[in-house]
C-alpha cells in the first residue's frame, strides 16, 4: 500500500528569508537551507534522523517561497502550536509578540482556549492551551 509523507508546508512571503528566520526563532528550529527560490526550516533534531528514519516517518518542515504581493485575506489553513503543561503559556505568547507576532481577531468567540496570532507577514496561527502530549 502506498502512502504519502507530509513533506512540508509551503508559505508565500514577500521576504522569504526573513520569514523563515522568524519562524526558526519562534519554534527553536533551524534554517536548513536558503537560496533565492526558497528557505526551509526544520526541527533541529530532524537532520539527525533523516538518514536513519524510514521515509514516511521523517517530520515535515516549513518552506518559504518569495512572492511580490502581500497577504490580503485570512488563511484557509493555519498552524496550531501548544505549550507543554510545564511551560508558561502567557510568557510564550509574550515572547512571540516580542519577536514580531501580533494578536489578530478572526471572529473566534471570547471564551476560546486558544490565542490567534499572526507572524510578521500576517499568516495566522494559534497558541493552544497547554498540553501533556
Q: Find the CATH number of the domain harbouring 32.
A: 3.30.720.120
Number of domains in the chain: 2
> 109 is in which domain, residue-wise?
79-127
Gap between the Cα atoms of 131 and 5, Å rounded: 25
Gap between the Cα atoms of 89 and 16, Å rounded: 28
Cell of 81: 502550536
Judgement on whether residues 86 and 59 belong to the same structural domain of the protein: no
pLDDT over 70, % of the chain: 98
Judgement on whether residues 85 and 62 belong to the same structural domain of the protein: no
pLDDT over 90, % of the chain: 77
Mean pLDDT of the 37-66 span = 89
Cell of 57: 516517518
Mean pLDDT of the 14-25 span = 98
Judgement on whether residues 52 and 85 belong to the same structural domain of the protein: no
Judgement on whether residues 55 and 90 belong to the same structural domain of the protein: no
- What per-residue confidence (pLDDT) applies to 58? 82
Cβ atoms of 41 and 65 within 8 Å: the answer is no
**Quick check: is 106 in a domain?**
yes
| pLDDT > 70? residue 2 | no
Judgement on whether residues 61 and 90 belong to the same structural domain of the protein: no
Amino acid at each position: 500500500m502506498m502512502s504519502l509523507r507530509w513533506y512540508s508546508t509551503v508559505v508565500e512571503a514577500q521576504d522569504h528569508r526573513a520569514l523563515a528566520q522568524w519562524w526558526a526563532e519562534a519554534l527553536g528550529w533551524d534554517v536548513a537551507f536558503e537560496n533565492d527560490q526558497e528557505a526551509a526550516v526544520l526541527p533541529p533534531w530532524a537532520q539527525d534522523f533523516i538518514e536513519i528514519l524510514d521515509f514516511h516517518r521523517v517530520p515535515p518542515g516549513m518552506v518559504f517561497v518569495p512572492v511580490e504581493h502581500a497577504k490580503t485575506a485570512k488563511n484557509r489553513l493555519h498552524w496550531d502550536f501548544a505549550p507543554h503543561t510545564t511551560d508558561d503559556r502567557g510568557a510564550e505568547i509574550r515572547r512571540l509578540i516580542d519577536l514580531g507576532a501580533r494578536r489578530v481577531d478572526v471572529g473566534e468567540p471570547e471564551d476560546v482556549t486558544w490565542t490567534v496570532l499572526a507572524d510578521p507577514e500576517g499568516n495566522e496561527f494559534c497558541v493552544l492551551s497547554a498540553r501533556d502530549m
